[in-house]
Structure 1
Amino acid sequence: MAQHLEPLVVRHAHRIPVPTCPSGPVGQGAVAARQLDAALMSVGFKLSAELLERLAGLDRDTVAELGARTLDTVRAMVGDHVRHNVYFRDFPANVPDTLEFWAGCIAEALAEDTTRASTIAQLSTGVVDLLTLPSYGRYRHAYEEMLAAHGELIAAAGDRLTVLHPGGTVEEELTALYLALAGSATPLGEAALADLRLLAEDAVHGPQPKEIPVRETRAVLNLVRVRAGAEPLLDTVTDVLRLACALSDGDVTLVEPTRFRSPSRRVRRLLIAGLDAVVAASPAKLADVAAHREQFKRLGERLHPHEYPQHPHAAEVFAVARGERKVPTLAGRAEALLAAGDAVGAARLLTAAPGRLFRALDHLLRRCATEEQRDAVLAAAEEAAPQVAGRVLLSVREHVRNRGPESGDRRRVFVNRFGCAWVTEDTRPPVPPRERERLTALLDTELRRRLPAPRRLLVDPDVLDVALPLSGRAAAGGFGILPRGSRSPVDGDLLRFFVYWKEAARTTDFDLSALMLGASYQTDSWLSYTNLQAVDGEHSGDITSAPRGASEFINLRLAAVRGRYIVPQVNIYSGEGFEEVAESFFGFMLREAEQEGRPFEARTVRMRSELRGPGRVALPLVFVKGEDGRWHARWMHLYLKGTPSANQVEGNRASVATLVRGVVEREFLTVRYLTDLMAGQGTPVETWDGATLPDGPVTFLGLERPEGLHPESVVLTPENLRDLIPA
């Protein structure tokens, strides 16, 4: 496997592959290893004691080369691979009053011959376009001048320090990472899928996972297999359709229509043969065609199935898509029974598709007229439960948790696969208490049965409020990211947000803002380019284009924040979208008041997330003040559609507040739920005190792997928390 994939191991596993064949005399790497350790600490990373020792045993040149690659990787992880300048050089000091600043920009425009006439003309109308003023929105000093204006960051005990651990060889680590991603029981996010595709290109002829549970993952792997000359893995007609979409660079989730390209003769034969084999083995799978009828029709126009009479079953697929052959679908038959008032019959029918049955349980129970009917529906669910995927069981368990008597006062938050969200009132009647309790007991029992029973479970309490990663799409790519709905503590005097973007082809203006909401979600204040300073904090100034990249910051003094909720957001004012720019990301830092330092300091970065959604307003997370006065972050990873241009915090306050309320008041299923289930089945669960580690192997569950853990321990951190989801 290629060495250029080594950064994937560092990013996903926080391990550094250690070569076994150094290029020079061994035992001379100690000095280079210590130098690497010092360089890493400057950006908030550190070598573990074991890794430092192993690197010291290598030759100097090998350590230096490995160190250079590692340093580049971790700097990019936290956003330190670019230059972060600010409009106001002394930020957060000396940020001017907004109106005074604007008046100064107008005065400067009047002083210049080239802009005087147009500025006077605008003043005569009573409205001045800030973007026409020469000193507005553009850096007024060099990056080096900004650095010179700030002192060194004073080290503090609360600075982030992410420990990197030793791994095996590059080949061993990449194989393990490939098998973990390919065999994930939950859908991967966009960034992880892209990494998997890179890994698969080298691993296609090597070891493969026993199962590939997620169909979108299977499509990516099939794409690589076909291009490498290997046979694709196909067992449904939809697998073939997803592969065809992947070959045309389309949407393998089948949500968005794909414009199919004309495939080569080899690919046409392969896809036709795949459809033929699937239907020949199980004619009932023709029923799956109806769900994607139009896409199958378009695919048939490219494949010309009539040219392959030796594959008659493939022709049946397209006959169904064109409506020439009728194949009753399970969903259609269930809907017909429901329309006839037979919810029990629909439930019994859906036992043939256990996952679909469980997703429909709420609806089925509400369609029952009597207690006896609801008992029959739940009896069907009990019969089907052992065949339902663990991820589906957990999703239904979270759903049931939010369907109690109080659910009528809640909002329903809908999030599509792209992260775009909308909220409506929850007008559904609650699930009756008796049935809710029975369904809860059923789900808990089945999930408890499937969970592993480690001899000893050691848990860092900080991980207990992390939401279960039921889908990788519920989190963006980046560093320090937790799944949507997770809670994590925020400790520090200063909270600082940052956004960076670099336009690809058009002038692009992103605006960083922060909305402060009160206990009833009413607006208390905000910081943005229209309100540069307040009691709460300061804005670094508006940058209106980014041909070479641009940054904006917001600095908040947490003790001074008057509201209960802080909602950072990135608004696209004009130009390219989040998915069009060359690069864009958001993050936050935590500092103590006396630390000073530059506007961006890598070792104070707690989170950096990619901004790659389709909306025009990004809402990465919300900060919530608890009843005890302490702050915590609640992760959202959401986007609002917004308007094509001129999105501002002032214009989306109501929609943002409604969305925040929907997320904050929803009860997400967290790691705590699974550890409680494990404890209920007799597994000894110990809370880690942050210092003392046991001598023997344990299953450790925490935010980071601690140093000194027994080498045979099983470690579950946010990077591989998906492994905790039962099959």
Structure 2
Amino acid sequence: MAQIFESLVIRHTHRLPAPEGSAGEGTVAARQFDAVLASVGFKLSAELLERLSGLSEAAVMHTARRTLRVVREMVGDHVRHNAYFIDFPANVPGTEDFWMRCVAEACGDKASRGSHPRQLSRQLTRGAVNLLGLPAYGRYQHTYQEMLAAQDELIASAGDRITVLHLGRDLEDELDDLYLALAASTTPLNEDDLRDLKILAQHRALGPRPEAIPVREIRAVINEARLNVGADLLLDTVTDVLRLACALSGGDVTLQEPTRFRTLPRPLRRGLLAGLDAVVAANPASLADVHAHRERFKRLGERLHPHEYPQWPHAADVFAVARGEKEARSLGSRIEELLDASDVLGAVELLGSAPGRLFRALDLLLRVAADQEERDAVIAAASRAAPDVSGRVVLSVREHLHNRARESGRPRIFVNRRGRAWVTPDLRPPVPAGDRDRLIAVLDAEIRRRLPAPGRLLLDPDVLDVALPLSGRATAAGLGVLPRGSISPVDGEQLRFFVYWKETERRTDFDLSALMLRADYRTDSWLSYTSLRGVGGRHSGDITEAPDGASEFIELSLDRVRGTFIVPQVNIFAGEGFEEVEESFFGFMLRDREQKGRPFEPATVRMKSELRGVGRVALPLVFRRGDDGRWHAKWLHLYLRGVSEGNRVEENQASVSMVVRALVEREQLTVRYLTGLMSDGAAPMEHRDGETLPDGPVTYIGLVRPQGLHPDSRVITLENLRDLIPG
């Protein structure tokens, strides 16, 4: 268990809990450890190297073995990345030549044709051959070791990625800090972080807890751990209890997916019913919340048997409302009735009791207001309610209003909590510009009021265009992954994408493709298994099954690419989905033109993200060439529905183009916006890698933590970027 906890700390913080062991002379072993780490793009901080050097050689080697397993998985080097073409990217044949070679080999090799030579002959007679059935197609024709022998060793470059591992505190202290940081997050966590929090909560259920747990699904995970050990629960709505019931049944605590409630032991049933009773007794109006999840509450009641517990009558009322036997009118129905009667002022007054609902309805209220007096009332109500609205919602509305001025006539994109994206025409009437600007000023003032005084603010310029993580679900788990909408520079000559997947039960075929678009988002060309060579690019070859895992690659010479956009995508051609396979991830590498190396070299990996979405087409990010010729990446983390079988880049280019355009042309609130408010117009200090750091404590915001910061500094990096979002 200690190894699991240690891996959590390393992945989330890039700190290695203080290594333990007998004292000794471990300098040589520590430097060897550092050298091996460099081969996968990591290194030890000077402080950590010194700590390890004072331990025995055996203690250093024990630490090294555990740590290397974790960092190799972080970068995707824990699996074997083979390529169909043994010396990719060299000697990739033309598509037609390759297919003809496969057919010729099938015709000339009786053993490979098995017992179906007539079937192949009939296909050739008809002029159409099933490529998937050819023995040489879609299956590795060489071993991983043979591929390594055919490839050159990596030529190290100054541009290779280096991720520093810092010295942490004792493991228990690091676990406490990580648990409290995740539990107190002001934004929802992604599925992987929520799973990690569950592990920590089970270990820390009776320990310290944050002063506030603002995100409801996080509260559900913590309540599950507390209920299992008999601790008091953190409940103030009936929906909190419903989320807890979903957690106990292994279901979705976000309530986006249906949950099959299990038959729970009597102690857990009593805990849920007592919680429901206490919530309703304290606030009878909370019964109105039942309507939002009526069917779920009905099914839950069938499992809890509230009639067996007459001591909790308020809990029974919850299920009576769900069955329609007791009336509890919802706020939504009352608001809808007022708006149907064109009573905007009445709706505004009623929404004053629900600040979050008011903020989510601001656009609608401003659009349906009959005159300036009603719009003034809406803005005044928003100003009064702003201090009681979560920082995440205030920032989301601020971002919405900024784009509202720019969306007229443009497609409107929707993205659900699972990353599924779809685009529709924007048919909404505009919000009056003057009222929109007044409301934006109110929101800016509220955010500025909540931000802490930064003291000496030190910024890495590369972090300024990173989008604020208003939801952790907008960011996939992985290494070097930025929130949806972030923009980051691409400094390299050779861009290489990779995808890895391993099927669970059924034959599964993922296809890595790259769609090149012109400035007007029309298709220029693509690379895929149907187009192995294109302008400036090579595809590593199609793999059609992955019982032992499989990889595909695409390499592009950026100065030879036509068009303005490069859109890598992963299409599920057949088999299991992204959430069904045993493992799947995507990433990209950057290399110098003359830099040799194997198809997968961890030291050149700039980003590796898990593929976990409900669609059949994954769009991790898009690369855009600016007017100055430089390339930048904009992060998407999107999934398209696709079709059940046979997804191909040729078939989905129109839908991909629409989604890419909608998100590329949308502007997210970034770190630049928030630090501008934080510094109140004063220019903060900038710091680039290698520059001298200030002597005293600072508030540092950057992509990675630099070595040598004052120990009392507040540090915000990608690992804890959510801490920027005020509560």
TM-score, normalised with respect to structure 1? 0.98
SS at match of 2:407: helix
Report what 1:84 is aligned to.
81
Report what 2:21 is aligned to.
23
Report what 1:685 is aligned to.
684
Distance in 1 (CA, whole Å) between partners of 2:182 and 2:53 is 32
1:56 aligns with 2:53: yes
Report what 2:152 is aligned to.
151
Distance in 2 (CA, whole Å) between partners of 1:593 and 1:164 is 29
SS at match of 1:383: helix
SS at match of 1:402: helix
1:89-109 deviation per Cα after TM superposition (whole angstroms, max 9, x unaligned): 010000001001100101111
Distance in 2 (CA, whole Å) between partners of 1:644 and 1:438 is 48
Report what 2:527 is aligned to.
527
Distance in 1 (CA, whole Å) between partners of 2:21 and 2:630 is 52
Shift of residue 555, structure 1, vs aligned partner: 0.4
Relative to structure 1, is the Cα distance of residues 299 and 219 closer, same or farther in structure 2, using a 3 angstrom cutoff?
Answer: same
Distance in 1 (CA, whole Å) between partners of 2:522 and 2:681 is 45
Shift of residue 230, structure 1, vs aligned partner: 2.5
SS at match of 1:89: coil
1:331-370 deviation per Cα after TM superposition (whole angstroms, max 9, x unaligned): 1111111110011211121111101100110000001010
Distance in 1 (CA, whole Å) between partners of 2:7 and 2:154 is 28
Report what 2:477 is aligned to.
477
SS at match of 1:176: helix
Report what 1:399 is aligned to.
400
Distance in 2 (CA, whole Å) between partners of 1:481 and 1:385 is 32
Shift of residue 259, structure 1, vs aligned partner: 1.3
1:584 aligns with 2:609: no
Distance in 2 (CA, whole Å) between partners of 1:369 and 1:692 is 59
The question of whether the paired residues in 2 share the 8 Å contact of 1:3 and 1:170 is answered with no
Shift of residue 30, structure 1, vs aligned partner: 1.3
SS at match of 2:533: coil
Report what 1:568 is aligned to.
568
1:38 to 32, 35, 39: 35
SS at match of 2:408: helix
Q: Which amino acid aligns with 2:21?
A: S
The question of whether the paired residues in 1 share the 8 Å contact of 2:3 and 2:66 is answered with no
SS at match of 2:629: coil
SS at match of 2:530: coil
The question of whether the paired residues in 2 share the 8 Å contact of 1:494 and 1:556 is answered with yes
How many residue pairs get matched? 722
Root-mean-square deviation over aligned CA pairs: 1.1
The question of whether the paired residues in 2 share the 8 Å contact of 1:235 and 1:278 is answered with yes
Q: Which amino acid aligns with 2:671?
A: V
Shift of residue 525, structure 1, vs aligned partner: 0.5
Shift of residue 409, structure 1, vs aligned partner: 2.5
Report what 2:443 is aligned to.
443
Q: Which amino acid aligns with 2:14?
A: H
1:103 aligns with 2:100: yes
1:77-127 deviation per Cα after TM superposition (whole angstroms, max 9, x unaligned): 010000000000010000001001100101111112235322111111221
Q: Which amino acid aligns with 1:127?
A: A
Report what 1:516 is aligned to.
516
Distance in 2 (CA, whole Å) between partners of 1:598 and 1:116 is 37
The question of whether the paired residues in 2 share the 8 Å contact of 1:348 and 1:377 is answered with no
Distance in 2 (CA, whole Å) between partners of 1:246 and 1:188 is 15
Report what 2:594 is aligned to.
594
Distance in 1 (CA, whole Å) between partners of 2:311 and 2:46 is 64
The question of whether the paired residues in 1 share the 8 Å contact of 2:490 and 2:633 is answered with yes
Shift of residue 232, structure 1, vs aligned partner: 2.5
Report what 2:246 is aligned to.
245
Shift of residue 184, structure 1, vs aligned partner: 0.4
Report what 2:368 is aligned to.
367
Gap regions ≥5 residues in structure 2: none
Shift of residue 689, structure 1, vs aligned partner: 3.7
SS at match of 1:206: coil
The question of whether the paired residues in 1 share the 8 Å contact of 2:88 and 2:540 is answered with yes
1:228 aligns with 2:229: yes
1:421-451 deviation per Cα after TM superposition (whole angstroms, max 9, x unaligned): 0001112122111101110100000000000
The question of whether the paired residues in 2 share the 8 Å contact of 1:411 and 1:662 is answered with yes
Report what 2:334 is aligned to.
333
Report what 1:2 is aligned to.
2
SS at match of 1:266: helix
Report what 1:355 is aligned to.
356
Distance in 1 (CA, whole Å) between partners of 2:377 and 2:612 is 45
Shift of residue 23, structure 1, vs aligned partner: 3.3
1:307 aligns with 2:340: no
SS at match of 1:409: coil
1:386 aligns with 2:387: yes
Shift of residue 60, structure 1, vs aligned partner: 2.0
Shift of residue 681, structure 1, vs aligned partner: 6.7
The question of whether the paired residues in 2 share the 8 Å contact of 1:488 and 1:632 is answered with yes
Report what 2:189 is aligned to.
188
Alignment of 1:328-727 (within 5 A): 328-404=329-405, 406-680=406-680, 685-690=684-689, 691-727=691-727
SS at match of 1:484: coil
Distance in 2 (CA, whole Å) between partners of 1:318 and 1:550 is 50
Distance in 2 (CA, whole Å) between partners of 1:58 and 1:276 is 56
Distance in 2 (CA, whole Å) between partners of 1:300 and 1:707 is 56
The question of whether the paired residues in 2 share the 8 Å contact of 1:569 and 1:617 is answered with yes
Distance in 2 (CA, whole Å) between partners of 1:368 and 1:187 is 33
The question of whether the paired residues in 2 share the 8 Å contact of 1:536 and 1:557 is answered with yes
Distance in 1 (CA, whole Å) between partners of 2:2 and 2:282 is 39
Q: Which amino acid aligns with 1:439?
A: L
SS at match of 1:106: helix
Distance in 2 (CA, whole Å) between partners of 1:479 and 1:400 is 32
1:166-199 deviation per Cα after TM superposition (whole angstroms, max 9, x unaligned): 0001111111001000110000000000111111
Distance in 2 (CA, whole Å) between partners of 1:591 and 1:31 is 31
TM-score, normalised with respect to structure 2? 0.98
Distance in 2 (CA, whole Å) between partners of 1:577 and 1:651 is 18
Q: Which amino acid aligns with 2:200?
A: L
Q: Which amino acid aligns with 1:685?
A: P
